[in-house]
Amino acid sequence: MKIIGIQPQKIENINIVTRGTIGEPLGLAKILAIAQSKGHEIMYIPYINSIDDLLSDVEAFLPDIVLFSIMTSQYYLGEEIAKKIKHIFPDTIIIAGGYHPSSNIKLSGPFDFFVKGEGEIPFEQLLTYFQNADNRTQLNEIPGISYYDENNTYISNPPERILDIDNYPLPIRNSTIFQQKYYGLIYPHYTDQSGFAYIEYSRGCVNSCSFCCKEAMYKGSKIVFRDPINVVAEIKSLIEKNVNLLFFTDLNFTVNHQKVFDLCNEIIKNNIKISWFCMSNVNTADDIELLKTMADAGCVKMMYGVESVSNGIINDTKKDNNNLHRIMTQTASSGILCQIFYMIGFPWEKDSDVYNAIPQIIQIPAHQIRIGIATPLPGSVWFNDMKQEGLCNVDWSLYDTENFVWKENKFSDINSLVKDICRQFYTTNLYSERLDKFLYLHPKYTESFNCFFNSLVELEILEKNEFKINNLKNRRTYEK
């Protein structure tokens, strides 16, 4: 069969305040690899330049099946393209997977199937089903799929967790997507990146924060890890493709310390020289030996979900930020950059609440702050609550954490507020001193900060490159 995989993301300007890159759709790349390994002809469209060009490519390819990988904010674009494809090829089967179809959104429009949760098992079984299309009863045995049966009854089978991620082929890798850069604060900085790729070590998370939609994808608290030997083999193959920066997609990289040691030791044993970064929850990273081993294995940055400094919000979102300052300081002293994710614009907040929190925010010992607008993502407990209370808009294009989804907007100008917090964060003496010390101990990051601060000037967050002015000129010495 001929199978096309599309991620409906447009290449737009990257705003480093909210996200550092466009992205490699690793999930779709893994699903397509399964199709390819079974001898199907595939076409991979990881991002969209123009819908017309995309439709010409689709028409020339004559697909039997078109796959979409969709986050909530990408739903409308995906639906628009799928409608056009269905119009040209009414018999083509259109399947959507990813986070949006996995939340409890009902299948509709041009899509024939939604795949909920991890896609490997249902996709493999769907392929088998389409190849033996005489036996329709099989569909109700395929985990995680939603569809309408011959009687137009809506069927939605519960998803199944995958226990052996390594059992599937490595993702399709696209050389154009490797050429994209990560524009946030990172080492190597964007001008020195020869290739940037995503990779996964684990799936799932033990926590269940009420604002998080991971439950829709990875039901329960089980975490499934890959074998470090396979991860290292994949890293080696990416290095051969000129990749020198990796992002681990794991939801909470440091949740199991032994597993982190196992992977890092495997990387070190194989003498692999590559930079990588990951996401973590501060309370799972409280181990200086672990952080040092991660740094030795190439970890250059950790991104911690802090979300808010307001205790009311933390309690409501089930986050625990005790020890934040100590663990972030340990991370930096291990030679790892620290970024925090922060959210403003909760429906119970207004300008003054956020302004009142600024003195606390600017004390957090991070190197980079990413501020998103609080968004209840479908699949989270929070979304269900907010929807029930009639507080949020369901225009999915707004669900990108750069827009307000609330029906009532209590903020005068939230984008200016975001810029204002960032400006204050990067211009305190505290920040400058912290940076000075960090760079004295870890000078390899100097150009990373310089590039990053240039981007902050371009985004009009800073008037001038304060880093160049303060940190490069007035160096002090510190105890190593």
Distance CA 166, CA 18 (A): 32
Contact between 262 and 229 under an 8 Å Cβ cutoff? The reply is: no
Close Cβ partners of 87 (under 8 Å, ≥ 6 residues apart):
none
The one of ligand SF4, ligand B12, none whose footprint includes residue 266, by CB under 5 to 8 A per kind, is none
Q: Closest approach of Cβ 243 to ligand B12, in Å?
A: 15
- Output the smallest distance, CB 217 to ligand B12, in A: 6
- Label the pairing between strands 145-148 and 113-115: antiparallel
Nearest distance from C-beta of residue 181 to ligand B12, angstroms: 12
Residue nearest to ligand SF4 (CB): 212
Nearer residue to ligand B12 within complex by CB, 28 or 295: 28
- Choose the binding region for ligand SF4 from 24-32, 107-115, 119-127, 203-211 (rule: CB under 6 A): 203-211
Q: Does the protein bind ligand SF4 through residue 252 (CB under 6 A)?
A: yes
Using CB under 6 A as the binding rule, whether residue 305 contacts ligand SF4 is answered as yes
Say if CB 45 and CB 29 are below 8 A apart.
Answer: no
Supply 337's token pair.
């950059």
CB of 145 to ligand B12, least distance (A): 9
Work out what residue 111 binds among ligand B12, ligand SF4, none; the CB cut-off runs from 5 to 8 Å by kind.
Answer: none
- CB 367 → ligand B12: shortest distance, Å? 18
Provide the CB-side half-sphere exposure for 264 (13 A, CA).
24
Label each residue of 312-338 as H, E or C: HHHHHHCCCCCCHHHHHHHHHHCCCEE
Q: Name the minimum Å distance from CB 153 to ligand B12.
A: 22
* One character per residue 205-224, x = contact with ligand SF4 (rule: CB under 6 A): x-xxx--x-x----------
Say which amino acid occupies 182: Y
Choose among ligand SF4, ligand B12, none what residue 254 binds, the Cβ cut-off being 5 to 8 Å by kind. Answer: none
Helix ranges restricted to H, 8-135:
26-37, 51-61, 75-88, 99-102, 120-131
Q: Count of residues binding ligand SF4 (CB under 6 A)? A: 10
Stretch that binds ligand SF4, among 64-72, 88-96, 201-209, 357-365 (CB under 6 A): 201-209
The rounded distance, in Å, linking the Cα atoms of 347 and 417 is: 16
Which residue number, 300 or 435, has a Cβ lying nearer to ligand B12? 300
Q: Residue 5 and residue 32: Cα distance in Å, rounded?
A: 7
User: Which residues would be at the binding site for ligand SF4 (CB under 6 A)?
Assistant: 205, 207-209, 212, 214, 251-252, 281, 305
